[in-house]
């Protein structure tokens, strides 16, 4: 799928948002249903309860006025009865419009019919009273009481039914609330997991090609310039991969030029120098015929100078190769203790000439994986510097410490020391610090820069501490296998 990063992100966000919107809509729908049910409880069921109470009261006052009228035969009481009857009918009409339950509507109709019957009996009785005719008053009273009781009974039923309705609605409300809660939890879990899965897939589809590119850049930094990156999507990253491939081809070309240069330069510089040295030595040995003492002195100076020049050229080429990452190290399991002793054997005559005491406190160590020749070069440089920069009758101490995953070698001397501000630059090439007395001791200024390159190539560190006029300590570490 050749979708751009932008499109991928937009799709994953849209998906997440639409799922959130779905969950919200579901909540809104259920909340509005709860609202409807609560409103119907408040507007209908509770108002029916209220109406049935008012109807009971109205019926009671009807009965009261009727009874008083029958006893006192006062027309004003009959008028009051009519008012109460009217109120009852009014209330009944309103109550019917408020209810939605068929059972209650039916009960109201029955009440209406009973109430009409009650009214008819009352008006019949009034006619009889007005005409002053004798009639079975008790029978009328009993009949009316029976009807009123029936109505009251029906109203009670309505109340019960209403209460039952409220209860059922509340139970339903709570059940559907629980159901909605469960459904909402399920939808949320589903939405969240789907969203996460989609986000994961999309993020992976972006991250995977980036990881491939990262691995490639690491390889490039290690000198592998093969332009073999194959990334087809997303388009931006595919373009980047194509650019990296082009860069690899260019780097490979530069690398080839560099190799040619070193091979050429080594040959061009070393060969004439070796010839000069050889030729001069031959002249010194008298192979070119007899030479005067003065000529001999001059030739010796030329030999010394060409030796120094050869050293300088060798060091410079070595360092340049290291810096260009072109030096091939021959790693082998090595006894470091043996290497220290070997370098000391070479350097002891120099130390003895200056009456410098070398205290070798090195211990037998675990074997380390190093290029032996290069490690000897490191030791020769650091110990050689210690001898070079320590005045006569001084001392040098060598120590080794084995730590958890590396070994540390320290070379202490009682030499001229290095100023605090110079400590940072002695590992840079051509940095020769003028000694305290102002004189410059012979050297190339390339030794420590080479040491740093070798130690770093071995995965170690190198540093120095010093007190001017009192001595220095050079440390380096090497990782243990
Ligand atoms: P050089 O060929 O001059 O010795 P290095 O790179 O080995 O070059 O050292 C750089 C400079 O660091 C030296 O010129 C010297 O000033 C200083 N230096 C190195 N080792 C010591 C030491 N043990 N004591 C004092 N100064 C030192």
Tally of CB atoms within 10 A around 274: 12
Task: Give burial (CB, 10 Å; 0-12/13-18/19+) of 473.
Answer: middle
Distance 406 CA to ligand 1 centre (A): 25
Task: State percent of the chain over pLDDT 90.
Answer: 49
What pLDDT sits at residue 302?
92
Are 61 and 112 spatial neighbours (Cβ–Cβ below 8 Å)? no
What pLDDT sits at residue 436?
46
Distance 385 CA to ligand 1 centre (A): 6
Ligand 1, atom 16, lies closest to the CA of 433
For residue 417, give the ligand 1 atom closest to its CA. Answer: 25
Ligand 1, atom 7, lies closest to the CA of 447
Report the SS3 class of residue 216.
Answer: helix
How distant, in Å, are the alpha carbons of 75, 101, 134, 155, 275 from that of 67?
12, 35, 17, 21, 153
What pLDDT sits at residue 369?
93
Distance 391 CA to ligand 1 centre (A): 14
CA terminus-to-terminus distance, the chain:
45
Distance 73 CA to ligand 1 centre (A): 140
293 strand-pairing partners = none
Higher-scoring residue by pLDDT: 302, 264: 302
470 pLDDT band (50/70/90 cuts)?
A: very high
Query: Is any atom of ligand 1 closer than 6 Å to the C-beta of 443?
Result: yes
Query: Is any atom of ligand 1 closer than 6 Å to the C-beta of 473?
Result: no
Ligand 1, atom 14, lies closest to the CA of 432
Higher-scoring residue by pLDDT: 75, 430: 75
Pocket of ligand 1, candidates 385, 427, 434, 439: which has the most ligand atoms within 8 Å of its Cβ, to mutate?
385
Residue-range domains of the chain with CATH = 5-196 (1.20.120.1730), 235-324 (1.10.287), 331-479 (3.30.565.10)
d(CA 353, CA 367): 33
Helix 137-221 vs helix 5-40: crossing angle, to nearest 10 = 170
- Render pLDDT for 350-379 as a digit per residue (tens, 0 to 9): 999 999 999 999 888 789 999 999 999 999
What is the per-residue burial (b if ≥16 Cβ within 10 Å, else e) of 372-403?
bebbbbbbbbbbbbbbbbbeeebbbbbbbeee
What pLDDT sits at residue 447?
92
Average pLDDT over residues 195-219: 88
Distance 270 CA to ligand 1 centre (A): 26
Distance 393 CA to ligand 1 centre (A): 19
For residue 471, give the ligand 1 atom closest to its CA. Answer: 24
Distance 432 CA to ligand 1 centre (A): 6
440 pLDDT band (50/70/90 cuts)?
A: low
The least confident of 73-82, 166-175, 317-326 is 317-326
pLDDT above 70 for 437? no
For residue 444, give the ligand 1 atom closest to its CA. Answer: 2
């Amino acid at each position: 799928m050749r979708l751009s990063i932008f499109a991928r992100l937009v799709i994953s966000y849209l998906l997440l948002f639409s799922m959130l919107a779905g969950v919200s809509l579901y909540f809104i729908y259920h909340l509005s249903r709860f609202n409807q049910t609560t409103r119907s409880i408040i507007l209908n069921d509770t108002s029916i309860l209220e109406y049935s109470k008012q109807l009971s009261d109205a019926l009671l006052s009807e009965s009261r006025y009727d009874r008083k009228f029958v006893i006192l035969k006062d027309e004003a009481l009959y008028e009051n009865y009519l008012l109460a009857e009217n109120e009852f009918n009014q209330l009944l009409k309103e109550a019917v419009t408020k209810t939605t339950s068929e059972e209650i509507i039916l009960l109201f109709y029955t009440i209406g019919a009973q109430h009409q019957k009650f009214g008819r009996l009352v008006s019949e009785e009034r006619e009889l009273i007005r005409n002053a005719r004798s009639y079975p008053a008790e029978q009328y009273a009993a009949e009316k009481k029976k009807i009123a009781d029936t109505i009251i009974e029906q109203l009670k039923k309505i109340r019960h039914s209403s209460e039952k309705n409220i209860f059922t609605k509340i139970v339903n409300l709570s059940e559907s609330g629980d159901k909605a809660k469960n459904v909402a939890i399920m939808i949320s879990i589903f939405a969240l997991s789907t969203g996460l899965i989609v986000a994961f897939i999309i993020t992976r589809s972006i991250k995977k090609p980036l990881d491939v590119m990262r691995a490639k850049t690491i390889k490039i930094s290690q000198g592998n310039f093969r332009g073999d990156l194959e990334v087809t999507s997303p388009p931006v990253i595919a373009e980047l991969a194509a650019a990296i491939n082009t860069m690899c081809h260019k780097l490979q070309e530069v690398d080839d030029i560099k190799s040619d240069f070193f091979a050429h330069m080594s040959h061009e510089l070393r060969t004439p120098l070796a010839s000069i040295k050889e030729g001069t030595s031959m002249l010194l040995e008298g192979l070119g015929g007899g030479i005067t003492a003065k000529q001999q002195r001059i030739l010796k100076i030329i030999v010394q100078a060409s030796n120094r020049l050869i050293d300088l050229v060798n060091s410079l080429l070595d360092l340049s190769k290291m810096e260009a990452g072109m030096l091939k190290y021959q790693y082998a399991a090595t006894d470091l203790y043996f290497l220290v002793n070997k370098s000391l054997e070479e350097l002891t005559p120099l130390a003895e000439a200056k009456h410098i005491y070398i205290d070798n406190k090195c211990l037998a160590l675990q074997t380390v994986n190093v290029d032996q020749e290069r490690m000897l070069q490191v030791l020769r440089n650091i110990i050689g510097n210690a001898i070079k920069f320590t005045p006569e009758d001084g001392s040098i101490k060598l120590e080794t410490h084995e730590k958890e995953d590396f070994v540390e070698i320290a070379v202490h001397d009682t030499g001229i020391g290095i100023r605090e501000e110079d400590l940072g630059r002695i590992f840079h090439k051509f940095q020769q610090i003028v000694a305290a007395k102002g004189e410059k001791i012979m050297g190339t200024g390339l030794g420590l820069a080479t040491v740093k390159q070798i130690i770093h190539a071995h995965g170690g560190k190198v540093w120095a501490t010093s007190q001017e006029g009192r001595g220095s300590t050079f440390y380096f570490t090497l990782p243990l296998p």
